[in-house]
Amino acid sequence: MLKKAGFVAATAAGLMMLGGTAFAATGGDEPTGAPNPTFGDAYTTFIHGGGALGYGAAALVAGAYTGIATTPSLIAGSFANH
């Protein structure tokens, strides 16, 4: 169950990042007259967003792996004191 919750949380976080980037990249149609983003701007935003998503996924997997690996010893250690 915890694996599913972690996967759902990571997916939601990734979609929020992608959605925020997509909506932030609106351009010349706005009343402020802001210029449309260039290809370089879009590429840089995509690379930084992908890096953040990758770092978050790696941290999530590393935390889950550490939790799974240490749980048996933590449970065994809780019985040793009694």
Residue 68 included in any domain: yes
Residue 19 included in any domain: yes
Most confident of 5-9, 24-28, 39-43: 39-43
Residue 32 included in any domain: no
Whether the predicted pLDDT of 81 surpasses 80: no
Total structural domains in the chain?
A: 1
Whether the predicted pLDDT of 24 surpasses 60: no
Torsion of CA 16, 21, 48, 33, to 10 degrees: -160
Res. 57 pLDDT band, cuts 50 70 90: very high
Res. 59 pLDDT band, cuts 50 70 90: very high
Domain of residue 58, residue span: 2-25+37-80
